[in-house]
Amino acid sequence: MEAPFLFQCPISMELMEDPVTIATGVTYERKNIEKWLFTYKKLTCPATMQRLESFDLTPNHTVKRLISSFLEQAADEEPVTSPPCSYDAVEHDKLVSLLKSIQTGPFKASGLRKLKVLVEKNDELQKDLIRSGGIEVLGCVMSHVVVENSDFTAFRACEEALGVLSLLPLSDDATVELILKPNCLKPMMVIIQRGSAEARVHAMSTLMKISKINNEWIANMVTDQDVDIVKSLLDLLSDEISTKLSSSSLDVLLEIVATSNKNRLKAIEAGAVCILLELLPDASRHNCEKVLLLLKRLCECAEGRSAFADHGLGVAAVSKKILRVSEMATKLGVQILWLMSSFHHREKLLEEMMVFGTVRKLLALLHIDGRSSSTNEKAIKMMKLHGAVWRQYPCFPSELKDFLRLNH
């Protein structure tokens, strides 16, 4: 027996155990609304998006009693089971019926959850869903989230539709073309920016599948004024929801900036350099290398170097990763500092390289066997190029004095 809609938490869509009511009169599962308000620091009601004047949570004893009665009644009913069967005409008819009810009926989120359960472990049904126009139906449901004044119900249905979409095998250009239409792509950007963690994973998973089949979508989306994919991905990085999501976002951003210099400028204008530098200190090893590679590509243009220099801790963040994460991270860190000190050598930048220990690390590189020759060459060039400036500082390393004297 499926739980009535009013017994389900509007955030998780699961049966509530400890229902509480907030100032707008909407009832939620306590742990979900507490996470929304006090962990994510939201100031609005998730269902109505009204700004909250009070954050009091009032236990809803009436709803709790009704849920208890519902559970007792459900326990008394004998479960109806059906023997397992392989994919056949019965399941096809059930799938088609579900698609029709989702398309025309009012309870779209509920229908989409049933559809997901039906197809998630059945490859043949997933293919049948595509053949039966399922992607078009999902796109129609998702498109409502970008309509002005769309409500929480539309948002929730869009998330459920994305959950189904992420299961499908996107194995051919024709299927991908359907998802690349605005009614699917634009809602995905909305979910990436404002959706739940699970829905964001589904959106990014779908985008990554598309990129393996058709890489041209990236260039088209970056130039689409109605779909700001760069901003969406940077927002996702800023939220730091999960390592997996951050890694996927970095992969797509790397594809974007590799496409053209125009895309690099768009990313820089959207604040990519600042966001990446703030992510760098706590990034995992794998993501650290991606962040550094992305920074290096952005610092290859003057605008990127200027944004790097304007960030007060840019040199410190990059220097800290040299000789501490991996050989690749060290190589990328030195390349970034080489770009900065060669083409943006303001005295403030050189001072930061001395104060934050960058110069000592460059010296240390020369004493490590097996280090990349190109990395060592850049370190030597930086010391030769800026040694005279660094010599003025009281923390000037004695080893550098010897190095400069020998290489004068």
pLDDT digits (tens, 9 = 90+) for 164-200: 999 988 777 777 777 778 778 888 888 887 888 888 8
pLDDT digits (tens, 9 = 90+) for 314-362: 999 999 999 999 999 999 999 999 999 888 767 888 888 888 888 888 8
Distance set, CA 254 to CA 19, 69, 122, 257 (Å)? 44, 54, 34, 5
Looking at every residue in the chain, the average pLDDT score rounds to: 83
Contacts of residue 73, defined as CB under 8 A and 6 or more positions apart, other chains included, come to: 1
Helix (H, G, I), strand (E, B) or coil at 15: strand
Distance CA 397, CA 392 (A): 11
**pLDDT at 195 (0 to 100):** 84
The structure tokens 């996927």 sit at 248
Q: Are the C-beta atoms of residues 274 and 307 closer than 8 Å to each other? A: yes
Distance CA 235, CA 239 (A): 6
Q: Are the C-beta atoms of residues 343 and 386 closer than 8 Å to each other? A: no
Asked whether the CA dihedral 16, 21, 25, 28 is positive or negative, the reply is negative
Q: Are the C-beta atoms of residues 91 and 125 closer than 8 Å to each other? A: yes
Q: Are the C-beta atoms of residues 244 and 277 closer than 8 Å to each other? A: no
**pLDDT at 293 (0 to 100):** 96
Reported as a pLDDT band with limits 50, 70 and 90, residue 59 is very high
Pairing state of beta strands 58-59 and 19-21? antiparallel
Q: Per-residue pLDDT averaged across 258-267, rounded?
A: 86
Least confident of 96-100, 307-311, 373-377: 373-377
Position with higher pLDDT, 319 vs 7: 319
Q: Which amino acid makes up residue 98?
A: L
Q: Count the Cβ atoms, other than its own, within 10 Å of residue 152.
A: 15
